[in-house]
Amino acid sequence: MKNTELELSQEELKLARDWIKDCGWGDIEDEDVDDLTDKQVEKAVQKFYDGGINSFKNDAQHF
């Protein structure tokens, strides 16, 4: 993910933020997730979602 173009749509970004909130990571509160930039959300999905962005995009079709 070196380019500056977003890989997730706005709807997928909303789903990704909801997923991050549901993860219950102890070091981030829900309001902090809302303050993340879209690129930060994508980086979190790429790093922590099993299979990265491609898997998230595929799975998001079934959420």
Q: What residues does each domain of the chain span?
A: 13-59
Residue 8 pLDDT exceeds 90: yes
pTM of the complete model: 0.86
Instruction: Give pLDDT tens digits for 14-59.
Output: 999 999 999 977 788 999 999 999 999 999 999 999 999 999 999 9
pLDDT at 58: 96
Give, as one character, the DSSP assignment of residue 27: T
pLDDT band at 3 (very low <50, low <70, confident <90, very high): low
In degrees and rounded to multiples of 5, residue 38 shows phi and psi of -60, -40
Assigned token pair, 38:
């879209």
